[in-house]
Chain A
């Protein structure tokens, strides 16, 4: 399929989904029991009496957890589009994410949309402390107290519409859904911008010596950029020091830097073409930028970023 027709197909699909208002389901693995959830799992509907729902699960990673998740994904994917959110602290990583998705998709007919995200440490857009229209509050709840600059009184933000009937406010649900629909595109765009800004000291060097850029990125002051690039090319192992350092940067900056869930989603949600463009960019970054390659061509790297971003439908941010 050509790039244009592939993009058109994705766009058609999105239009169709939006027109038919496919049910949207978020399965969120988090510390819900800490917030008072009596069982391992429950279901909340969304204001407006649609088929949208939030499924809460508190499930530490294990073989049986993977099996349970597979079953749930199969079940919910039959009902609509599914976003699966996995809390990193519950033991989930890129590897387990892949296994779960592969298991679930192997038995689902094509076209069932499942996107999955790893989140944690309070840094992602799903948290109310980061986005007032988020869903996850403090200590396993749907609510949080926020202290805004210049406003004396703390604002209490609650994503619940009706606690007894287990109903979530629509605007919170819609906001998070929309944010995560665009999440990967924004992360890639931000990496591109930050990368070229950091590399601007090389703009006027006509013949960049082999390894000069790599050595520059390796410097302590560029550590964050290096970690993000390593995450982008899939070179950060779970439990490693590098992972800890990148998590610390995330916490410090309240930004999402990990790409551990990106490639899989590009492949399984966006399509093969996007996954190939991603792979090709990963290849360039690994073999040229983070290597001893002479005469680096920045415009070529920029073009690859742009090609990938253009292939992903929708805007960078909502």
Chain B
């Protein structure tokens, strides 16, 4: 029996269509890890259906085209479809209120991931636009811009410390004039604002690592940046660069 995998934040609809899939000769199974890195589990998928829009943190999020980019990059052989309650006609979209009579024929006619440009928009919050602001927004919107500034200042601070510049001097002449504490607050506020919208995206695990990275160095900033031991012991410079790199990797493909 051929397998159809699915990703959904909605528990009711997949249960309702389970029998229909099975009657038409398909095993219908949830993808339990909803935030995968490219992994072995994904290599086994032949057909994947995304029930869109996803519902996270009280907002309906339309992320279908971000998932398309992910599969196009890593698993172009997977037959990717969306399903939902929006009225749309598309070879790779299952309108749940007007399901095809012959599912095998429908899947036969669906296009491979490289053969179509975009999925029809599922009507929720456009996560592609959010990602764009996250990476390329100006002033109040871009997180990576703020992160870059902090990483530069902390790198300079650690380098000076290694050159035996006394920490109180670094604090007075570099950290305070550059308003590092304020910048940190802006950065973490923005991060908290964006994070809920990025739930359920293919790079969810990486974002969790970024979040953990921020948490691990937070004590230095929350302590007013006054403790040189925390600056070194928490590996603030390295952590910030790791975070930056992780976000840059995501940004190159989706930003």
Contacts and interface: CB of A to CB of B under 8 A. Distances in A.
Interface in B81-133: 85-87, 96-99, 123-126
Nearest to A256: B58
A117 B113 CA distance: 44
Given A150-B211, A192-B85, A197 B13 contact: yes
A132 B189 contact: yes
10 pairs of A and B residues whose beta carbons are closest in the complex: A200-B16, A317-B125, A196-B85, A200-B13, A153-B222, A150-B215, A299-B97, A197-B10, A201-B16, A148-B192
A250 to B, nearest CB: 11
B84 to A, nearest CB: 8
Given A171-B140, A196-B85, A197-B12, A203 B99 contact: yes
Contacts of A190: 60
Contact of A200 (B86, B96, B219): B96
A266 to B, nearest CB: 18
Contact of A133 (B97, B188, B193, B222): B193
Interface residues of A, number: 33
A154 to B, nearest CB: 10
Contacts of B60: 189-190, 193, 316-317
Contact of B219 (A152, A155, A253, A317): A152
A253 B59 CA distance: 12
A285 to B, nearest CB: 16
Nearest to A306: B87
Contacts of A201: 12, 16
A303 B86 CA distance: 9
B189 A298 contact: no
A203 B193 contact: no
A316 B60 CA distance: 9
Contacts of A303: 87
Contacts of B238: none
Nearest to B61: A317
A192 B84 CA distance: 12
Interface string B172-193: 0000000000000100110011
B87 A302 contact: yes
A196 B12 CA distance: 10
Nearest to A200: B16
Contacts of A309: 123
Interface string B207-238: 00001101100110010000000000000000
A309 B124 CA distance: 12
A316 B87 contact: no
Given A151-B218, A255-B58, A298-B97, A189 B185 contact: no
Interface string A182-194: 0000000110110
B200 interface: no
B17 interface: yes
Interface in A278-318: 298-299, 302-303, 306, 309, 315-317
A190 B85 CA distance: 12
Contacts of B12: 197-198, 200-201
Nearest to B208: A150
A299 B16 contact: no
A193 B212 contact: no
Given A193-B53, A316-B123, A317-B124, A151 B215 contact: yes
A252 B14 CA distance: 26
Contacts of A196: 85, 96-97
A203 B19 CA distance: 11
Contacts of B218: 151-153
Residue from A153, A198, A255, A306 having most chain B Cβ neighbours under 10 A:
A153
B175 to A, nearest CB: 18
Contact of B222 (A150, A152, A255): A152
B17 A203 contact: yes
6 contacts: A151-B192, A189-B124, A197-B12, A299-B87, A299-B98, A317-B59
A146 to B, nearest CB: 8
A152 B184 CA distance: 14
A170 to B, nearest CB: 9
Nearest to B99: A203
A254 interface: yes
